[in-house]
Amino acid sequence: MSAPPFVERPARLGLRVAAAFAFLPPLLTRVTLGYTFFLTGRGKLANFDTFVSFLTDQGVPAPVLNAHVVARLEYYGGILLVVGLLTRLVSLGLAGTMVVALLTERKQFLESWRTTGDIGPTDISSYVFLLFFTWLVVYGPGVLSLDAPLARWLGLGPRPGETPSRAA
């Protein structure tokens, strides 16, 4: 059974408009997260000893090694996210750092799920970042990325009838 024309026409128009702007969510997500983590990585590299002390105080094992890895992952990974290169891999690595951050603040995170508190889960920035990184790992960087032409060149691009956001 078809929808009446007065419903079908605006619905089709809405779907066409949404499809025309489908490139925006992954692009804005990548650029925002990439720039944010580029800045935090740069700050950690510029204040490396302070960052090592912070990791030591948090009880993170091998704080010097972890500081090197995390600072560089955030700095270079942020740049890669902005241009959309190796997006899924970088997002997976940064998601891992967010899991570690959540583990270090697990008491506050668990309390954020209580209905009686003043804060909610979205007040925990590492959780919000984890959600966005998970989204990028699953759905990819979008068509406006260096990953998209790279995937096509490698023969991994969208197949006929497949949406570009699923394949890139």
Using the predicted structure, report yes or no on whether residue 2 has a pLDDT greater than 90: no
Residue 21 lies in a domain: no
Q: What is the pLDDT of residue 164?
A: 54
Give the predicted TM-score (pTM) of the model: 0.86
Residue 66 lies in a domain: yes
Residue 43 lies in a domain: yes
Q: What is the pLDDT of residue 156?
A: 85
Average pLDDT over residues 40-66: 96
* Domain with 119 in it: 26-158
Average pLDDT over residues 16-42: 96
Instruction: Work out the pLDDT band at 52, boundaries 50, 70, 90.
Output: very high
Mean pLDDT of the chain: 91
Residue 147 lies in a domain: yes
Greater model confidence, 52 or 166: 52
Number of CB atoms found within 10 A of residue 141's CB: 28
Residue 137 lies in a domain: yes
**144-153: per-residue pLDDT in tens?**
999 999 998 9
Residue 18 lies in a domain: no
Residue 15 lies in a domain: no
If one counts the domains in the chain, the total is: 1
Residue 19 lies in a domain: no
Using the predicted structure, report yes or no on whether residue 167 has a pLDDT greater than 50: no
